[in-house]
Chains A and B, each alone.
Chain A
Amino acid sequence: MNNFQRLEEEQIRQYDASKRRKVQNNLEHTFGLFKFIGQIVDVYLPAMIGVLISAAGGNNSGSKGPGRTPSEGGGHPGGVGPHPPNGGIARR
């Protein structure tokens, strides 16, 4: 170990538990916020785009809810609800 590395060790010791915790908490808060914004965008953006297309007079029948299949109902233009009655209609 040379004196540059000893200096580094000394400086790492200055980064005590309280500083470590403070920065870690701030980071967790930042990433929590990013995650929340990401979820909002994921859920609402496709719906907002659909509304804008409809408002502009277009046909948004091609759009679907995020990550949903037609059988899940919600978000699909032709859907009647989240669960089809009697276990759903058999597909061919």
Chain B
Amino acid sequence: MKLLKSILVSVALAGTAVPALADYPERPITLYVAWGAGGGTDAVARLIAVGLEKELGQPVNVVNRTGGSGVVGHAAMAEADPDGYTLGLATTEVNLMHWLGLTELDYNVYTPLALMNTDPAGVQVSADSEYKTVGDLLKAINDSPAGTFKATGSGQGSSWHVAIAGMLNAAGTDASKVTWVPSDGAASGLQELLAGGVDIVPSSLVEARALIEAGRVKSLAYMSSERSQLFPDVPTLKEESGSDWEFGAWRGIVAPKGLPDDVRDRLVSALETVYNSEDFQGFMSKQGFGARFLPGEEFGKFMATNDVNFGETMKAIGLAK
């Protein structure tokens, strides 16, 4: 299929003879992803790539540069030439890893192009858990000795760890009262929850979806200002406990710093078209991903605010270096 497609593309290219020189893009574009083939981020990236390809008329190749909890891929996005031929799908980790002292790199090394998606965290417990509301759970954590409750869902100091620690911190409970058990991701975390190894998995609702629908896991609260479209029955954290804490994982397209303005504008408008396309919206809502669009500068501001918030929380709970 690739073969057929490639032949068609090359025939089409040969047919158009010499393209006008100044027209961006005139050769294939690379889209870096810091996470492996098969994950949610990879799927979103491949979807955006298909859309961009249609918009820009050039192949967009998704390249997975994995490892190092995202450091390697995010560094690759920053180090490429700012010519518009290398883009990246940046994720929440941009605003986490420099606080952890893993890298110098932060959101300032990118030209922000578009925020494409945010997934707020939920507070998931096993369906047979004795806690019916997040208020009960928070009270029980506060009243129990440290280490009674265990949570998992991502690596040490990564997104969902910050989500639950921030929630506890906002509720005035010592964040270290809940033991964090590092895991590869939400899937293996949820499996631990079912196996009885941990009590709480603060992952996104999408990740817990199959198990919530199967009635094996329940979500007590949603760390966002509005209820989720996927599970409108799950109350927000604010409704349940009055806490202002919000936490969401996000994904957005960035380019290396110093991208020419005309190229940036072309990409931002192409990304907006992709975002509004039926394919993208359909995919996101069927998968249960939260679609949210912010163009260029606004995305930059979003990352800046997000970064400050994470920094404050991570310092408060002793995760930041």
- A and B bound? no
